[in-house]
Structures are given as structure tokens and as C-alpha cells.
Structure 1
């Protein structure tokens, strides 16, 4: 297994951050056929495979705001108002995704991208672990 960790700064606002370029480069460098596993070791972030740049990223954030409002209903209440929702979000958008790789290329669909979803406005710095699994 080949593995690497890199840092992402998401800032202090809700974000859908495109990881596709880093994933593409890592898969190309790993080469061959296998599985790319993308993981964020955080209790308040997730990984999504979706279309980006055509409004879907904004729609996802709007849907999450509706499902998980940033208000005072959350028992997990430290940090900014509504912080507890960030700890619930990974049950909806898990902190990982696995993408097949053929000949060093991600086998994403035409409009698919790999994104970090982060609602936690209190933590602007994230780690992402990429692991390339083969049967070798």
C-alpha cells in the first residue's frame, strides 16, 4: 500500500473543497490498477463524490444547512453556534471514499469530482490521507 497525507486549509466558512487534482496526481504516481482510498481523520468533515462547479457544491451546502441548522439545538455545544451539527454531518457524508483506479487513472464519471465537505468554521486546517491499494 502506498500512502500520503497532505494539508488543506478550508478557512472559516462552510466549504466543499475539490480534492480531485491531488487525488489524480497521487493515482498517476502510484500507477497501475487498484483502489484509491481518501480519508479525513476528523470528526467534523466528510468526503463526497459529486459534480462541482455547476452549483451542486452550493446546493449541497444549502441542503446541509437545512438538514443540520447552525442553531442551539445541539447537545455537543462547544465552539461556535451550531458546532454540534458538524459532529453529526459525518453520519451523512462519511469521512472516506474509495475510487477504482485503472492504469493510474481515476475511474470517475464524466461529471464526478472528489471533495472534502467541511461545515466546521472553528477548524480551518485539515489533513487528507490518500492510500493506494493493490493486490500486489
Structure 2
């Protein structure tokens, strides 16, 4: 049987991995928020999405988090009139990415907080293991 502290650390680590990937996706979206297509009328950067889900870890005998899917957002691109832009179509319209900075900042904040919560679980588990070792030494 797996020690509960080891299981907690493993589950927290899986959550931290998932949130780290989520932060990378958000960072990519923010970095490309104004990236237009390379040629006239071409599509710009398309917002990336990540779907997290629950999975059962048989070794731990507990539920854990995992990345279910990496994909792209299907919402329509924003269109802006900018005839001087190299990506402008014949009418002078430029397609802009479907990245909403407010949504990205909210996702970043939530992912950061979730990551920090996992880090606190890891710290507490390490502290409890250390205290147990100290108790065994003094016994």
C-alpha cells in the first residue's frame, strides 16, 4: 500500500504539471494576441485551449488530474480595418487573433493559484514526513 503522504505528493505533482502546461498555453496566447497572418487575407494565430480532466491512478488508488485535450478555439477572428497592414485583404480588413486578454488573464490567475495550492500540499507533505522521521529518531 502506498503511503498517504506519498500519494498526496504525487497527486499534487500531477496537478502542478497540468497547471504548468495551462500557464504555457496562456502565455502563448498572450504572446500572439496581435499576431496577424503572414500574407494578405490569411488567418491569424488561433487561440489555444486546454481541457483538464480527472483520471484514476490505479497505483495510488486515488483520482488525479490530467490533460484531456489540447486544441484551438473555434470562435471567429476579430476583423479590423487597416489597409496598410501586409495581412490586409482586398478590402483593407485584417483578421486578428481570437484572443481575449481578459479571459487569458483570468485563466493565468486561476492556474497560478492552483499551482500554488499544489505547492503548499507538497510543502506540507514534506514537513510531515520530516516530522515523522524526527519522531522515529527520538523514539
Q: TM-score range by the shorter chain?
A: under 0.3
Identify which of structures 1 and 2 has the higher relative contact order when contacts are C-alpha pairs closer than 8 Å and 6+ apart. Answer: 1
Greater percentage in strand: 1
Richer in helix (by share)? 2
TM-score (norm. length: structure 1): 0.27
Please, what TM-score do these two structures have when normalized by structure 2?
A: 0.26
Larger Cα-atom Rg: 2
